[in-house]
Structure 1
């Protein structure tokens, strides 16, 4: 990773609010030339600081009305079990976020589905059908109070 200076950090804050912000507008905001901003953005993309430019879609627009936070408890913490779980969760589109954690819970997932019937079917495919999953606990979100994915740039 390349070292980020204050200009890079200012640019990242702006891009996280709206990645379509014109480079001229960013340049004016951070007191650099548009060319300098373009070079810095390209360098951050090349270094992997900026991993992707994505569109955040409203789940309701796609009828993804159920959001669940799920704690997954594996039977053991052997490498093979962890790797199987990571692969399965990574390849499942309904799993929006996946964290391998400590403290008794093996994984914490954020899952979206169209309805409870779809969620129940997904739990069978992700958890019940796999002997390496000991159990899981579901917390159903009543409201998405904050669900953006911006990282705090100090």
Structure 2
């Protein structure tokens, strides 16, 4: 595995919290030239440490008011059936996150939809219409307390600069 030095870690910290920060400004803050920061970002991307550059949009401003956590249990846990479920869940934009987990439940999904009516339609397609879904259990989020995208980059579990 490729090792990261302190400059790489500092660049990743800035990229995680403000991907619009100019490379010149990053360089000034960490003591590198703009071309050096640019080369490192290119290298970190090529190595897969930076997997994508995205905008995080406000779901409510776009009319997606309902967040649900859904436990899904399958009838069959054969590798092919698990792979089919992963493909099905990945293909739906309403499924924001999908975790294949251990225990009594096979998958935990984070689903964001405009309304419960939309969720009902989604359940007909994903769960009721799927003979391999044994059962599913839905939890409705009352409040969005925290959503994060940053990964701790030091030994102490903090992301301070």
TM score, norm. by length of structure 2 = 0.92
Are 2:122 and 1:122 aligned? yes
Distance in 1, matches of 2:83 and 2:38, equals 39
Distance in 2, matches of 1:93 and 1:64, equals 12
> Structure 1 residue 76: deviation in Å?
2.0
- Which residue number corresponds to residue 134 of structure 2? 134
> Structure 1 residue 150: deviation in Å?
2.0
Counterpart contact for 1:65–1:113, Cα < 8 Å: yes
Summarize the alignment of residues 7-86 of structure 1 with structure 2, pairs less than 5 Å apart. 7-86=7-86
> Structure 1 residue 30: deviation in Å?
1.3
1:40-83 residue CA offsets vs partner (Å, 9 max, x unmatched): 00001111110110000000011000000111111121011101
> Structure 1 residue 148: deviation in Å?
2.8
Q: Which runs of 5+ in 1 are unaligned?
A: none
Figure out how many residues of one structure are paired with residues of the other and give that number.
Answer: 154
- Which residue number corresponds to residue 91 of structure 1? 91
TM score, norm. by length of structure 1 = 0.96
Which structure is higher in helix share?
1
Distance in 2, matches of 1:4 and 1:75, equals 44
| Cα-Cα RMSD | 1.0
Summarize the alignment of residues 103-114 of structure 1 with structure 2, pairs less than 5 Å apart. 103-114=103-114
Counterpart contact for 1:56–1:148, Cα < 8 Å: no
Counterpart contact for 1:27–1:33, Cα < 8 Å: yes
Distance in 2, matches of 1:153 and 1:121, equals 41
Q: Secondary structure at the match of 1:108?
A: strand
